[in-house]
Amino acid sequence: MVAPACLASNVVPVTTKEVLNLMFSATVSLLLITAMAFTSGQTPQEPAAVPKPQLPTGVVIRGCLTGSKLTHIEPGDPSLTLPDRLRVTSIKVIRSQVKALDGHQVELVGLLRGIPGQETGLLVAESDKGKVYFGGGDPNLGQDLASARAEPPTIHVNTIKDVAPACIAQQPKSKS
C-alpha cells in the first residue's frame, strides 16, 4: 500500500529494480553513443602504397679517384660535357670514404659546380611535369643569375660507390 503522503506530493514510489533498469539502459546508451562517435571519425584504411624507389639526386659519374680528384671520367649521361679532371668535395663522412678509396674505380652521385652549362643547383621539387632547382643559374637569363665566382670544375658528392679496387687505364680517344 502506498503512503498517503506520497499521493499528496505527486511523488511516485520507485523500486530498486526500476532504478537499476534505468541505470543499465542509460549506461548502454552512453556506451553505444561513445562507440559510434569513435568509429564515425575513422575512415577505412587502404593498403599502404608501395613507395617507388628514389632516384639519386644529381649526376652519376664513374672514374678513377686519385686523392681528391676524379680522372678517367665516364659520365652516366652521355649528353654531359665534362673536363678530364674533377675536384671531389663532400660532407665529412663521405670525405673519409673518399680518402679510403684512393686509387679505386668509383661511381659518384652528386652536384656539378664550376662547369659552364652544367650548373643545376639544388633540386627543390620534382614531378612528371618538370623540376624546380634552387641556385645554379643560366647566364642566358641575365648576369645576376650567372655563377658569381670562378670555381674549378667540382662534383659535390652525395653518394660514393666502390666499383673496382684498382683504376682501369682509359684508352686514348682516337681521332676519326
Grid cell, residue 168, equals 682501369
Nearest to 110, CA basis, from 148, 73, 165, 67 = 73
pLDDT of residue 169: 64
Cα diameter, the chain: 125
Q: What is the pLDDT of residue 105?
A: 92
Q: Return the SS3 of 173.
A: coil
77: closest CA among 42, 120, 40, 39?
120
CA angle, 64 as apex, 63 and 69 as ends, to 5°?
100
How high is the pLDDT of residue 107? 92
DSSP 27: H
Domain ranges of the chain: 14-42, 59-164
Give the residue among 115, 108, 74, 63 at the shortest CA–CA distance from 89.
108
pLDDT one-digit tens code per residue, 8-30: 566 667 788 887 787 888 888 88
Give the H/E segment covering residue 109.
strand 105-113
**Do the beta carbons of residue 156 and residue 111 sit within 8 Å?**
yes
CATH topology of domain 59-164: OB fold (Dihydrolipoamide Acetyltransferase, E2P) (2.40.50)
Q: How confident is the model at residue 174 (pLDDT cuts 50, 70, 90)?
A: very low
DSSP reduced 3-state for 99: helix
97-146 confidence digits (pLDDT tens) = 888 898 899 999 888 887 766 655 666 778 888 777 666 555 555 555 55
Q: What is the mean pLDDT of the chain?
A: 74
